[in-house]
Chain A
Amino acid sequence: AQKVTQAQTEISVVEKEDVTLDCVYETRDTTYYLFWYKQPPSGELVFLIRRNSFDEQNEISGRYSWNFQKSTSSFNFTITASQVVDSAVYFCALSDAQGAQKLVFGQGTRLTINP
C-alpha cells in the first residue's frame, strides 16, 4: 500500500526565513508520481508540482524548490525568503502510474509566516 508522511504538523517562521517542508513516502511501484498542493486560508487546493519517479532532478520555480531523493524516499519542499502570502497548509501526495492514478495524501503541514 502507498503511504505519505508529513511529520511536521505545524511550522511557524518569521518572514524572509527559509523553510523546508518534509515529505516521506512509501510505495512498491517502480513508476509513480509525487505532488505538492497548497491550500491557502481561502480553502481551495492549488497544484504546485508533479514529479516523475524517474526524474530525480531538483526543480526550482522562483522562491520554491523541490528536492526529490529516491534513496531516502523523500520529496521535500523549500520556500526561500518566505512571505506572509506563503501561509497555507501544504500537502504532499503520491500516485501510481496505472489507470485513474488515485492520489494518496499526507496529513498536511500548516505553515504560518509571521511578519
Chain B
Amino acid sequence: DAGITQSPRHKVTETGTPVTLRCHQTENHRYMYWYRQDPGHGLRLIHYSYGVKDTDKGEVSDGYSVSRSKTEDFLLTLESATSSQTSVYFCAISEPGLAGGREQFFGPGTRLTVL
C-alpha cells in the first residue's frame, strides 16, 4: 500500500472558523491531489500539486487554498468554513510512469463536519 496519511481523520468545526487538513506521503511522488466526496457527485478535484510550491485549481476550488512546501506534505485550508464544505476529503498521489498513464493512490480520508 502507498504510504499516505491524512490528519485529522475526523473534525467537527463551526461555520466561519479556519480549518487545515494535512496529507503526508512517504512515496516521494511528484503529484498530489485533494478531492472531496459528496453523495451523488462521486469525487471532485479541489486542487492539485505538480511539485513543491507548484499548485493549480481543480473543478471545485472556491473557498479552498493549498500549499506544498515539501514534497511529502500537501495542505488544504478552508479559510472560513461553511456548511457546504461538510464532506469527506481525500488526498491522492501519483508518479509519472514509463508507460504514460498512472493511477492515483488515495489516503484514508478526512471526515469534516461544519456546523
- Chain A interface (Cβ within 8 Å of chain B)? 4, 6, 31, 33, 35, 37, 43-45, 47, 50, 52, 91, 93, 95, 97, 99-108
Q: Are B48 and A107 in contact (CB under 8 A)?
A: no
Total count of chain B residues near the partner, CB < 8 A? 27
Contact across chains for B100 and A100 when beta carbons are under 8 A apart: no
Residues of B within 8 A of A43 (CB): 88, 108-109
Contact at B50–A107, with CB atoms within 8 Å? no
Please count the residue pairs between chain A and chain B whose beta carbons lie under 8 angstroms apart in the complex: 64
Which residues on the B side are within 8 Å of A106 (C-beta)? 42
Q: Chain A residues near B50: list those with CB within 8 A.
A: 99-100
Report the bound CA distance from A102 to B100 in whole Å.
Answer: 13
Contact status A97-B101, CB under 8 Å: yes
* B105 lies within 8 A of A52 (CB): no
The A-contacting residues of B in range 3-53, CB under 8 angstroms, are 31, 33, 35, 40-45, 48, 50
Other-chain contact of A50, B35, B90, B101 (Cβ < 8 Å): B101
Known: A43-B108, A102-B58. A95 touches B45 (CB 8 A): no
